[in-house]
């Protein structure tokens, strides 16, 4: 229990220091396509780690993603999801947070856009009608399901290629 409290305290200090190091305006301005681009490599690395059932790789990739996220406009949904992945003890916990992270990233890509330097596809896999669909972003057309990697050959389909430029 003390370790968990200490870990939370460390993350709070990191977030406070990052906020103090950047101008206050950084948290009030609108996100730019360049900001979205700065998030994509680490997001895609988290997705790949989960697609390989490698929680350690996903956690390691979440750290630079968190650093990139806190340099931009304040987005609590994005930062809290990334923080949970970085601290996840198992794949199930990381994957639950990845659902929220993907939702926040998809919103940024669709509302803000990117510079177009990275191909981006919205993937979907409907496991059962009761559980709904899992979605994620990927930069290529080779399925790597971050939620159910064992189904990567059967289930996933590209829902659509995402628009990269400003809407």
Listed by start position, the domains of the chain span 31-161
Quote the pLDDT of residue 141.
Answer: 87
Long-range pairs, 76-80, Cβ under 8 A, ≥24 = 77/103, 77/104, 78/39, 78/104, 78/105, 78/108, 79/15
Give backbone dihedrals phi and psi of 134, rounded to 5 degrees, phi first.
-100, 135
Quote the pLDDT of residue 25.
Answer: 33
| Cα–Cα distance, 68 to 16 (Å, whole number) | 14
Q: Are strands 121-128 and 132-138 parallel, antiparallel or unpaired?
A: antiparallel
Quote the pLDDT of residue 127.
Answer: 65
Q: What is the pLDDT along the chain (167 residues), one digit of tens a residue?
A: 555 545 544 444 344 444 444 433 344 468 899 999 999 999 999 999 999 999 999 999 999 999 999 988 887 779 999 999 999 999 999 999 999 999 999 999 999 999 988 889 999 887 644 456 789 999 988 888 999 888 766 777 777 888 654 44
Quote the pLDDT of residue 28.
Answer: 45
Quote the pLDDT of residue 7.
Answer: 54
**Structural tokens at position 51:** 């697609």
């Amino acid at each position: 229990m003390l370790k968990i409290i200490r870990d939370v305290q460390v993350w709070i200090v990191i977030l406070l220091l990052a906020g103090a190091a950047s101008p206050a305006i950084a948290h009030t301005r609108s996100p730019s396509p360049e900001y979205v681009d700065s998030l994509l490599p680490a997001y895609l690395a988290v997705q790949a780690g989960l697609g390989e059932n490698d929680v350690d790789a996903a956690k390691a990739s979440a750290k630079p993603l968190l650093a990139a996220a806190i340099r931009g406009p304040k987005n609590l949904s994005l930062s809290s999801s990334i923080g949970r992945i970085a601290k996840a003890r198992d794949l199930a916990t990381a994957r639950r947070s990845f659902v929220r992270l993907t939702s926040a990233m998809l919103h940024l890509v669709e509302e803000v856009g990117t510079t177009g330097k990275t191909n981006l596809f919205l993937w979907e896999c409907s496991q059962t009608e009761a559980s709904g669909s899992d979605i994620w972003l990927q930069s290529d057309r080779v399925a790597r399901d971050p939620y159910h990697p064992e189904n990567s050959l059967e289930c996933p389909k590209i829902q659509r290629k995402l628009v990269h430029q400003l809407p």
